[in-house]
Amino acid sequence: MTVYEMAKQLELTPIAVPEGDRNCAGVYIGDLLSWVMGRAKSENVWITIMSNIKIVAVASLTDVACVVLAEGVTVDDRVRETAEQKGVNIYTSEKTAYELATALASLTK
Amino acid sequence: MTDAVRLHFLVDGEDFTSAGQASVQVKKNLRQLGIAPEIIRKVSIAMYEGEINMVIHAGGGEADVLIYEDRIEIELVDRGPGIANIDLAMQEGFSTAPDNIRSLGFGAGMGLPNMKRYTDSMHIESALGEGTRILMTVRL
Ligand SMILES: Nc1ncnc2c1ncn2[C@@H]1O[C@H](COP(=O)(O)OP(=O)(O)OP(=O)(O)O)[C@@H](O)[C@H]1O
Ligand SMILES: [Mg+2]
């Protein structure tokens, strides 16, 4: 499933989507960046409430398919611009991390 | 024997916002060199953790990446306070990161363990009041 398709199904709000046709598979949830660096896998959807500039580098280095900010968290313009430049997809949603994860689980059934 | 490709970076200890840039640059360079994605992931994540550590804990430093035919070496050198107890610092969860850094999502005490996890060998030399040198190798 592409990032676009997944985002449409989950009714996510786009923040930066420079590479929306990337494939996504699996989910990682976490806010402590070194945990994410150690555990998130390539192509994962990374759900977090962390919104500072470092999420762009972490998403890029772990090669996750996209970042989904839960609980209505947003980012400032610099983060959005850097994400566009670095090819990192970011969405936001009012849903909780749990609601997002269960919705993602039912998508892949 | 062909010479190694060497990438050299100064890591600015004053600028937390741009900390991590050298690692992002290395990822780009390795991709251009046609290195396999799994290797790029290991090298760039291990280096990122070390780079962030130099900024948070040591006031910056220098990073070198050497690309040989059979391996990639990452060398991180700083003149920070040094690590008092390396075995303790290597334990998952051990951190002396200040609160302002923790609020940005760092300080889980997972950086050094990640560096070990993502590399084939990791060697730390550190002296209190003098600094820290970390050498990591990823085999190709
Ligand atoms: N270059 C360094 N100079 C001095 N001390 C260091 C250096 N690197 C690590 N340390 C010490 O080792 C501890 C553990 O480092 P580690 O990277 O595992 O965790 P952290 O940086 O505190 O948190 P995290 O990496 O999870 O965000 C640090 O809190 C710090 O006390
Ligand atoms: Mg660290």
User: Which pLDDT does position A67 carry in this prediction?
Assistant: 98
Query: Which pLDDT tens digit goes with each residue over B101-114?
Result: 999 999 999 999 99
Q: How far is the CA of B83 from the centre of ligand 1 (A)?
A: 8
- How many independent structural domains does chain B possess? 1
Determine the topology of domain A3-107 in CATH: 3.40.1390
Mean pLDDT of the B35-50 span: 97
Q: Mutation test of the interface with chain A: which of B44, B90, B119, choosing the one with the most A Cβ atoms within 10 A?
A: B44
Domain with B32 in it:
5-139
User: Which pLDDT does position B2 carry in this prediction?
Assistant: 66
Mean pLDDT of the B79-96 span: 97
pTM: 0.95
Chain A residues with beta carbon closer than 8 angstroms to that of B41: 42, 61-63
Query: Which pLDDT tens digit goes with each residue over B55-67?
Result: 999 999 999 999 9
Pairing of strands B121-127, B131-139: antiparallel
User: Which pLDDT does position A109 carry in this prediction?
Assistant: 67
Which ipTM was obtained for this model? Answer: 0.90
CATH number at B115 reads 3.30.565.10
> Which candidate, B22, B23, B25, B28, places its Cα nearest to that of B10?
B22
B17 φ/ψ angles, rounded to the nearest 5 degrees: -60, -40
Task: Provide the token pair at A105.
Answer: 């689980």
B51 φ/ψ angles, rounded to the nearest 5 degrees: -65, -45
User: Which pLDDT does position A108 carry in this prediction?
Assistant: 77
For residue B3, what pLDDT band results from cuts at 50, 70 and 90?
A: confident
Q: Which residue in this structure is represented by tokens 């762009």?
A: A56
Q: Mutation test of the interface with chain B: which of A23, A28, A37, A50, choosing the one with the most B Cβ atoms within 10 A?
A: A37
8 Å CB contact between B25 and B54: no
Q: How far is the CA of B96 from the centre of ligand 2 (A)?
A: 9
Query: Which pLDDT tens digit goes with each residue over A54-100?
Result: 999 999 999 999 999 999 999 999 999 999 999 999 999 999 999 99
- % of chain B with per-residue pLDDT over 70: 99
Indicate the domain borders of chain A. 3-107
Q: Do A61 and B110 touch (CB under 8 A)?
A: no
User: Which pLDDT does position B4 carry in this prediction?
Assistant: 87
For residue B1, what pLDDT band results from cuts at 50, 70 and 90?
A: low
8 Å CB contact between B11 and B62: yes
